[in-house]
Chains A and B, each alone.
Chain A
Amino acid sequence: METPLVEFFKALRGAGVNVSTAEAIEATQAAQILGYSDRNQLKSGLGLVLAKSLEDKSRFDQCFDQFFQFSKLDNLSEHQSQQELDQQGASAEDDPPPSLTERLQQLFNLPGGSSGPGGSGQPSMTQPQSPLGQLLLEGDNNALALAMAEAGREARVNEIQWMTQKGLYGRRMMQAMGLGELEQEMWTAEASDDSTQQQLGNALRTARDRLRADVKGFVEQQFVLQAAATGKKLREETMMSVRIEHLREFKDVKNLVQKMAKKLIATHSRRKKVLNRGMLDMRNTLRQSVPTGGIPFDVYWKKKRKDRPRIMALCDVSGSVSQVSRFLLMFLFSLNEVLPKVRAFAFSSNLGEVTDAFNELSVDEAIDYALDTYGKGSTDYGQSLADFTDLCMNDIDNRTTVIILGDGRNNYGDDRAELLKQIHLRSKKVIWLNPEAPMRWGTGDSEMLKYKAYCSNVAECNSLRQLERFIDRLLTHQ
Chain B
Amino acid sequence: MPNNPSIETIQQGFEAQGYICNDAIALSVFLAQQLEKPILVEGPPGVGKTELAKTTASFLDYSLIRLQCYEGLDESKALYEWKYSKQLLYTQILKDKLGDLLKGTHDLAESVGRLHEFGDIFYSEDFIEPRPLLKALNNPNGTVLLIDEIDKADHEFESFLLEMLSDFQISVPELGTIRAQKKPVVFLTSNNTRELSDALKRRCLHLYIPFPDIKLEQKIIQTRVPNVSENLRQQLVEFVHNLRELDLKKQPAISETIDWARSLMLLHADALNKELVTSTLNVLLKHEDDISQASNELNTLLKSSSK
Residues of A with Cβ closer than 8 Å to B? 18, 20, 22-23, 26, 29-30, 33-34, 40-41, 44-45, 47-49, 51-54, 57, 265-266, 269-270, 291-293
A45 touches B85 (CB 8 A): no
B206 at the interface (CB under 8 A from A): yes
Q: Tell me the complex Cα distance, A282–B116, Å.
A: 36
- CB of B208 within 8 A of CB of A57, answer yes
Interface contact B202-A20, CB-CB below 8 Å:
yes
B23 touches A53 (CB 8 A): no
A52 CA to B207 CA, complexed, in Å: 8
Q: What's the Cα separation between A54 and B7 when bound, in Å?
A: 24
With A26-B37, A45-B27, A269-B194 as contacts: A293 and B85 at CB distance below 8 Å? yes
In the bound complex, what is the Cα–Cα distance between A165 and B23 (angstroms)? 42
Known A-B contacts A29-B35, A48-B206; the reply to A269 vs B27 at CB < 8 A is no
Q: With contacts A33-B34, A51-B206, A52-B206 known, is A41 near B42, CB below 8 A?
A: no
Closest 4 CB pairs of A and B: A291-B84, A52-B201, A48-B205, A44-B24
Interchain CA distance A168-B82 in the complex, whole Å = 72
Contact of A49 among B7, B31, B194 (CB under 8 A): B31
Question: Which residues from chain B sit less than 8 Å from chain A, CB to CB?
Answer: 7, 23-24, 27-28, 31, 34-35, 37, 40, 42, 83-85, 88, 155, 194-195, 198, 201-202, 204-208
Chain B residues contacting A20 (CB-CB under 8 Å) are: 202
A270 cross-chain contacts in B, Cβ below 8 A: 155
State in angstroms the CA–CA spacing of A291 and B129 once bound together.
13
| Complex interface: chain B residues within 8 A of A48 (CB) | 24, 27-28, 31, 205-207
Q: Which residues of A lie under 8 Å from residue B201 when comparing CB positions?
A: 52-53
Q: Knowing A291-B84, A293-B88, say if A44 contacts B206 (CB, 8 Å).
A: no
Q: Nearest CB to that of A49 among chain B residues?
A: B205
B202 near A52 (CB under 8 angstroms)?
Answer: yes
A-chain residues with CB within 8 Å of residue B202 when the two chains form the complex: 20, 22-23, 52
| Among A18, A291, A292, residue most surrounded by chain B Cβ atoms (within 10 Å) | A291
Report yes or no: A54 in contact with B27, Cβ–Cβ below 8 A.
no
User: Which B residues are CB-close (under 8 A) to A26?
Assistant: 35, 37
Which of B23, B27, B195 has the most chain A CB within a 10 Å cutoff?
A: B27
Taking each of A26, A45, A54, A266, which has the highest tally of chain B beta carbons within 10 Å of its own beta carbon? A45
Q: Separation in Å of the B251 CB from the closest CB of chain A?
A: 15
* Contact A45 B31, beta carbon cutoff 8 Å: yes
Contact call A33/B155, Cβ cutoff below 8 A: no
CB-CB nearest in chain A for B192: A54
Is B85 touching A44 in the complex (CB atoms < 8 A)?
no
Q: Are A30 and B35 in contact (CB under 8 A)?
A: yes
Assess whether B88 is in contact with A41, with CB atoms less than 8 Å apart: no
Q: Known contacts A52-B201, A270-B155; decide if A33 and B206 are in contact (CB<8 Å).
A: no
A24 to chain B minimum Cβ distance, whole angstroms, is 11
Q: Which residues of B contact A34 (CB under 8 A)?
A: 27, 31
Query: Are A30 and B31 within 8 A (Cβ)?
Result: yes
Q: How far is the CA of A34 from the CA of B6 in the complex (A)?
A: 10
Enumerate chain B residues within 8 angstroms of A49, measured Cβ to Cβ.
31, 35, 205-206
Q: Which residue of B lies closest to A297 (CB)?
A: B84
CB proximity of A57 to chain B, nearest CB, Å: 6
Q: List the B side residues contacting A41 at CB < 8 Å.
A: 7, 23, 27
Chain B residues, Cβ within 8 Å of A266: 195, 198
- Output the least CB separation between B189 and chain A (Å): 15
Q: Which residue of B lies closest to A20 (CB)?
A: B202
Closest to A50 in B: B206
| Closest residue on chain B to residue A262 by CB atoms | B195
CA distance A229 to B52 in the complex (A): 38
Bound CA–CA A30/B206 (angstroms)? 13
Can you give 18 contacting A-B residue pairs, CB < 8 Å? Answer: A20-B202, A29-B35, A30-B34, A40-B23, A41-B7, A44-B23, A44-B24, A44-B27, A45-B31, A48-B207, A51-B206, A54-B42, A57-B208, A266-B198, A269-B195, A291-B83, A292-B84, A292-B88
Name the CB-closest residue of A to B204.
A52
Q: How far is the CB of A302 from the nearest CB of chain B, in Å?
A: 15
| Bound Cα distance from A265 to B201, whole angstroms | 17
A52–B31 Cα distance when bound, in Å, is: 15
Whole-angstrom distance between the alpha carbons of A49 and B39 in the complex? 10
Shortest Cβ gap from B218 to chain A (Å): 22
Question: B170 CB to closest chain A CB, in angstroms?
Answer: 20
Bound form: Cα–Cα A49–B32 in Å? 10
Residue of A nearest to B210 (CB): A54
CB-CB under 8 A from A292, the residues of chain B are 84, 88
Least Cβ–Cβ distance between A73 and chain B, in angstroms: 23
Report the minimal beta-carbon distance from A454 to chain B, rounded to whole angstroms: 38
Q: Return B204 CB to nearest CB of chain A, in Å.
A: 8
B24: min CB distance to chain A, Å: 5
**Cα distance A340–B296 in the bound complex, in angstroms:** 35
